[in-house]
Amino acid sequence: MQADATRRLPFEDGQFYLAYSNSLIEHLPPADRPAFAAEVKRVASKWWVQTPAFGFPLEPHALLPAAHWLPPVIRRRYWRLGVAGDWEEISLLRRAELVELFGEPVIAERIGPLAKSWIAVRA
């Protein structure tokens, strides 16, 4: 079965105990993220949603320093130097964006003092 998690999924409200999303939401267009968050919250009573942190200096898909901070026209050329392969428009999230979508708590997965990723959790 294929389904689009930004549209109504073929599941009943609260059908799942846990919804798990690992490094997906940054691949969705920002305009589609509220619909994705609403579906996660609709189908599951608990969730764990992880995404790479915008503030971390290494872009985690291409493994390039500061790639995600560049304007897309420059980023597209720089992307070819990384390991990610073909260009994909990826928009990393800030903590506040994840809080807006899922509420608190949003916790940091850290490397030293830096937040490498954000995780929205409803336990």
Q: How far apart are CA 37 and CA 102, in angstroms?
A: 7
pLDDT digits (tens, 9 = 90+) for 90-114: 999 999 999 999 999 999 999 999 9
The separation between the first and the last C-alpha atoms of the chain, rounded to the nearest angstrom, is 28
Identify whether the C-beta of residue 116 lies closer than 8 Å to the C-beta of residue 56. yes
pTM: 0.91
Q: How far apart are CA 5 and CA 17, in angstroms?
A: 17
pLDDT digits (tens, 9 = 90+) for 20-60: 999 999 999 999 999 999 999 999 999 999 999 999 999 99
- Res. 1 pLDDT band, cuts 50 70 90: low
Q: Where are the domains of the chain?
A: 16-28+47-122
